[in-house]
Every structure is written in C-alpha cells, then in structure tokens.
A and B are shown apart, each in its own frame.
Chain A
Amino acid sequence: MKETDISSIPYINSLSGIKEPFRDGCRAMQKDIICLKERSAVHNKVLPSIEKAVEMCGLKDGMTISFHHHFRNGDYVLNMVMETIARMGIKDLTVAASSLAEIHDPLVGHIKSGVVKRIETSGMRSKLADAISRGLMDIPVTFRSHGGRAYAIESGQLKIDVAFLGAPSCDPYGNANGYSRDHDTGISCGSMGYAKLDALYADKVVIITDNIVPYPNAPFGIPESQVDYIVKVDAIGDPQGIMSGATRYTKNPKELLIAETTTEVIAASGYFYDGFSFQLGTGGASLATARFLREKMLEEKIKASFVLGGITGQVVKLHEEGLVKKLLDVQSFDLIAAESLKNNRFHQQIDASYYASPGNEGSAVNQLDVVVLSALEIDTDFNVNVLTGSDGVIRGAIGGHCDTAAGAGMAIVVAPLMRGRIPTIVKRLNTIVTPGKTIDVVVTDQGIAVNPQRPELYERLTKAGLHVRRIEELQESAERLAGCPEPVRYTDKVVGVVTYRDGSVIDLIYQIAE
C-alpha cells in the first residue's frame, strides 16, 4: 500500500500523533471537569476594571479606539473609558466613534489636554461641535457616513486598535446583545448594528456592560469569538437618554402635510407595488410618513417586502400588522423596536456593512426602492447638507444619508421651505454631504421638486396632479420671504473633512470667523 504524503498540507505534518502517542499543543492543560456554573465564575473574560482592560489591550499613545452610538444621548461608556485613559496618562489617541452626542461634551477637555488628537464620527452636536467649529482641534475631524465608516474599516482605511463597546447584556465569554432576554435591567438599545463591525475588525474588543448574564447569551449581536475582555460597571447609560418608549408622531401640521405629500409622491412614483421596500430617516416629517403610507398600503392592498434602517415602533406596527414582511435593523430607535427585535423572528439585526457599505454590492441600501430623508439645507442642484447649520456650525450627523440616497431607486428629501426665517432651499449650501445626482425628489410644504435627471418621475408626479415646481422656484419663493442671507464667514482653517461613502473627500468644513 502506498503511503499517503500529507506533508504538502500546511501545518499538518507538525501533528505528532501518527507514529507515536498523541500529544496536542495544549497537553499541559488539565481537562476542566468543573460544571458550567462554576466554570463561568472562575474561567472567563471578565476583568475587574476598565483600567485593567486598557492595560491588557496594550493601549498606547497614538492608537485608535472606537465606540458605538447605540446609547445615543444616554451613553456613559465613552466618557467613562476616556476618563480612565486620561488618568492613565495615554495621549494622542484617535477616537473613532460611530457618532457623538451632546453627552460626549467632556471630549472637549480630553482634546485640550492632549489625550485625544483626532476624531472620526458620523456627526456631533452641542459644545463639542461648537468648540470644533471654532478651531479647537489641530487635525480636522473626519466625518464618515455609516456606510462610509463600514467601508473604511473593511478596507483598512480606518484601523481600530481597541473597541470599547457598551452592551445591555453579555455573558462571561463575550456574547453581547442590545437587550436582555433574561435578567432585564431596564437598559436596552435593540440592534447593535454599528458595534458589530467594530467587534469584527478591531484588534482588541472590550465589552462594557452592567449586566452579566448566564452563558450562552443567545441570540447575540456580538459573538464571544470576537470579544477579548469584559468589564462590568454599575451603569452603562441613562435609559431615558438611550431611547424613549415610543417615537411619537409629530403633531406639527406642517410636518404632517409634508409627510402626507411624501406618501402621495411614493404612491405615484412607480415604486409603490406589492413587494416594494423602503426606509424612513429621522425627522418628524420623514417618520410621520409611516402613518400615511400605512393608510395607502391598506387602501391599495400593497405590502412591503422589507423596511431598512433605523427601525421605529411605527414600522414595527406595520410589520406586526402584516404590511411589512421583514425588518432589517441596524439601529433601533425606540423601545418598541428593541422589543420587536427580541420577539419578532423576521426582525433581523444587521451590521453597518450589511446595511450600507459601498464595498458590498449586496448591501441592503442597494435593495431599497424608496428612502425618505431629512435635510438642513438643499441647493438648487439637489445637493444636501445635514451636517452644518446656516451659521456654519456643526450640528448634525451624516448617518446613512448619502448611502441610502445612492442605493435607493428613489431618494426623497423632505424639509420645510423655511425654518423660522431661515430658508432651507438655497442657491449654495454650506456643506455638501449628499451629492445632488443621488437625490430624486424634494418635498416641501410649498411644493415638490423633481431632479431634472428623472424626467419619468416628473411626468408621473405631474400626471397624478401633484404640485410639482422647479427647485429654483422654491428657492426664489423662500428668498422672497427671507431675503438673501449674508454668506457665513470662515477662516481658512479646515476643522472638518466630509468624506463620501468610498472615503473620497466631498467637502471641507472651515473654522467660522468670529
């Protein structure tokens, strides 16, 4: 009999059991014969403190650390970790958060003291944004969309050394999730979509939780195989700030009018058919579209195949009524959505790459028929700004704006023609976030504009009797009321770099001149 040659299979010949007694690499280790319950308490990944975790991860000056924003304005994790790191004397870090909120204002102090040298985020608000707009940092902030961040991580443009990921539940080995099936402590964020990708790609992953539950914490958002350490703390966030009970429909009549018109646009667009897919972005008018769309779907006996994105209680209602077959959830917006993720089998948790990465042909945004998005400013070329206010100060977040606009068959942007005395539709906007060629329709309280690139949409909407106007007309009617505002004055210092989905620079944000 011919002897089989196994030497060409890598590593196989290093096995030693063929002609002699079997000795594996772990032979020194005794078999663990204690029971699961005891083992979970003795051998696990839980460390006594954040400081210990920072030490074990080998965090050094100049490294990149990441955080997720699923706890929104109730997040304690980022501040807690940054305080510890500052105390330990580590400097010049890059903070790559999926987004930042008002609660993260203490970052201002860490920037001043040299702990934080650079920031990557989807957006920021409040004092931090204000200080950065006024030139706080030497290196400009990198703004990335959710899909753009995913792509940057996947492609190596953004390398995360240590990810500190808050989780409402985690077992002693790192199976972490955005809710607790047992032992609920009342903290819940639903989907862990943005954290999932950090866990997959970061060199070291630390789960910060207030709730260590028995193994296995299944189903999980983040699997134990991606987790290095776990730290239990007293509190990871303020439930009030993390999410409210239910996203309520706006009562603002103007937003309701825009939502109703948006539904009419969808119904007439050719994208309203049995099996269509949609996403509703944040903002009163956008979210309220669910209410009118529901009526229209019932009336015309149309069901959606899936809803993507930030999921709200209203969308969950459509799902539970059978009007929407599946929910793809990268971020849950309210407690009803979090509960649904827990209980509805066709409510699927997805990560940021699955959601929106441009490096993945199959990414869910590419399967969207319709997306409804908000805007701070829209110019007459349909370019959209969701990042800086009319005063040039950073006050928003890119989110999935440009990702969904690029992916969806029809991207609708909704906004009032004016906010107070500030026109929304302008000749030139402060910051381009989403290029106009990806925006198809703009719906305002004073009429609809269709991108000239989409003549067939224009025809369908006018045929349906909708009030379609040229976008220049909308801009002019706003200007007639408000006059032409003085342009914002900037210095020549760049404070923010706005990237498009693939990492290319689409615009720069300058320091405002005082």
Chain B
Amino acid sequence: MKRLRRSILYVPGNNPGMIRDAHIYGSDVILLDLEDSVAMTEKDAARFLVYNALKTLDFGGKEVAVRINGLDTDFGLKDLEAVVRAQPDVIRLPKTDSEQDVIACEKEIERIEAACGIPVGKTKMIAAIESAQGVLNAREIAHASKRLVGIALGAEDFTADLKTTRSADGIELLTARSMIVMAARSAGIDALDTVFSDVNDTEGFIKEAKLIKQLGFDGKSVINPSQIKPLHAVFTPTKDEIEKSLAIVEAMEEARKRGSGVVSMNGKMIDKPVLDRALHLLELAGATNALRSAMQ
C-alpha cells in the first residue's frame, strides 16, 4: 500500500532528546532537520548526531526523512555524504528552484549509494519549493527524478520572495498551493503543505488543514507534536464517507457484472471518477483504522 504522508514532524537535528522521542507522537513522517532549525555553529554536530541517530535508533517503523542544507551552501554536500550512508527513507532538498537542483542532488545521492553499496535508487527524495521561480517550475521539478515521492511548499521563504507576508486565510499562498498540487498530481507523487507556525492556535491550524486537504494536498508539515492529532482527524474519512464509498464500490461491482460502466445511486450518476475517489477514500480509511471502527 502507498505510504501515508499526512503529517511530517520537524525535529531539529541537534536535539538528541527530541530525535529519540520523535516517533512516539504518531506522525507519518519524521523529518530530521539539518537546515534552518540548526544554527550555523551547530551544523557539524547536528550532522554527526543525525547520522548516529539513523544508525542506532528505532523510529518505530515511521518514514524518516532528513532535510539537508542546500547544495549551494558549504554544508549541503557534507550532509549528503554523511546522511545517505545512514540510509534514511527520504532526503528532503530545500529551496528547489528548478529541475536542475533535483538532478544535481540525485547525482550526488547516486554516487554515494554506489560508493557504499546501497542499492542505487533506494534513497527517495522530496523537493521543497520555496520561491516564485520554484513554483513556476513546479511541473518540471515534480518530473525531474524517479526518486521523488513528493514536492512540498515552504511558505516562509516563498512569501518573503513574493514580497508579502502570511495571512490568516493564506490567500497569498493559494496559487502556489494549487500549482504544487497540480504538478504533484501530474507526476503521480505527493503534494505536501507548509507548516502552520502558531502552535497555540489550534482552531486556525485545523482551518488551514481543511483548506489544504480540499485543495488536494496529501499532508502537511508540523512543528509541534500537538498538531498531529488534529491534522490526522482532518484527513480521516468519516463513517458516512466510508459507508457511502463502500456502497459506490458495491454498486459499480453490480454494474460491471451487468456489463455497464455507469450506474445511478440515489439519483446521482456514478462513473469511473466517482469510483476512483471512493477507492482512494477507502484506502485512506484502511490505513487510518477508520475503516475498522466504521465496520464495528
């Protein structure tokens, strides 16, 4: 089954206690950060810590990603050299402006994999888009590598680049978000949303989570464990939705037996797109245990 990436928990790469405990909060992905949450003077220590954490800790079966520093910095390549050897599931590339950035990073990963006997292609990638140029190149970026499992929006740098600020309703991010979702869908990979920084504003967070789910995103980055549960709640299908989807699948199965591709249910036409949506919802429900509780 496809891996869920509803929540990506940011963990500063220089905080051993937080790295050790990151898996207990139930996020789908743990993102060990070597980039913006680590001070310049801590970069080497964080790299060393993340390498050893990946080698020794049990992350409870979670997908583990590492955000490296950009390859245009003094740290990016060093990060890759260390981290790829420790075999995280995913490398997250920051500030991706073009497909060239992805290709360059992939080349380095491939070289390191080959050098240390890791099957080439094992390390997956997520590209974070954090500039106007990146958004405009989103489609090319999304298609740039087979390693990519998702593209993500980084809103802080993006809004700065746009010469605006983040607002409560996120109107300034609307175009970028939509373009990223479309680019991701065209490449068949995940669309991942940016962080919501006000940890105390649970209501605002849920509102934003509902918005990005409606836009088509698969998940969102979180900076505090308290945001994981409400986020998952937004992404968990309701009992009604599950029952409706089960009915649709059943009706289509009946129709298929009769040799028809279309069926009417409660006066509404059901065709392939409706069926696909129902199947996707059931897949999500299955992965979140919501299916089990709905069946009880």
- Residues of A at under 8 Å CB distance from B? 253-254, 256-257, 418, 420, 445-446, 465, 477, 480-481
Contacts and interface: CB of A to CB of B under 8 A. Distances in A.
Q: SS class of chain B's interface: helix, strand, loop or mixed? A: helix
A257 B22 CA distance: 12
Contact of A420 (B17, B226, B289): B17
Contacts of A418: 20
Interface in B45-59: 57-58
A465 B20 contact: no
A254 B21 contact: yes
A220 B24 CA distance: 48
17 contacts: A253-B25, A253-B224, A253-B225, A253-B226, A254-B21, A254-B24, A256-B225, A257-B25, A257-B225, A420-B17, A445-B21, A445-B24, A465-B289, A477-B58, A480-B58, A481-B20, A481-B57
Contacts of B224: 253
B178 to A, nearest CB: 32
Contact of B24 (A420, A446, A480): A446
Contacts, number: 21
Pairs A-B, 8 closest by C-beta atoms = A253-B225, A445-B24, A446-B24, A253-B226, A254-B21, A257-B24, A257-B25, A256-B226
Interface of B: 17, 20-21, 24-25, 57-58, 224-226, 289
Contacts of B24: 254, 257, 445-446
Contacts of A465: 289
A444 to B, nearest CB: 9
A301 B21 CA distance: 34
A259 to B, nearest CB: 12
Nearest to B225: A253
Q: Which of B21, B24, B57 has the most CB of A within 10 A?
A: B24
Contacts of A256: 225-226
Contacts of A420: 17
Contacts of B225: 253, 256-257
A236 B225 CA distance: 43
Q: Which of B21, B25, B57, B225 has the most CB of A within 10 A?
A: B21
Nearest to A253: B225
B59 to A, nearest CB: 12
A23 B15 CA distance: 85
B231 to A, nearest CB: 14
Nearest to A256: B226
B108 to A, nearest CB: 32
Contacts of A480: 58
B203 to A, nearest CB: 15
B55 to A, nearest CB: 14
A446 B57 CA distance: 14
A253 B228 CA distance: 11
Contacts of B58: 477, 480
Nearest to B23: A446
A503 B69 CA distance: 63
A254 B226 CA distance: 10
A253 B227 CA distance: 10
Nearest to A261: B24
Given A254-B24, A420-B17, A481-B20, 12 more contacts: A253-B25, A253-B224, A253-B225, A253-B226, A257-B24, A257-B25, A418-B20, A445-B21, A445-B24, A446-B24, A465-B289, A477-B58
A201 B139 CA distance: 83
A18 to B, nearest CB: 81
Contacts of A254: 21, 24
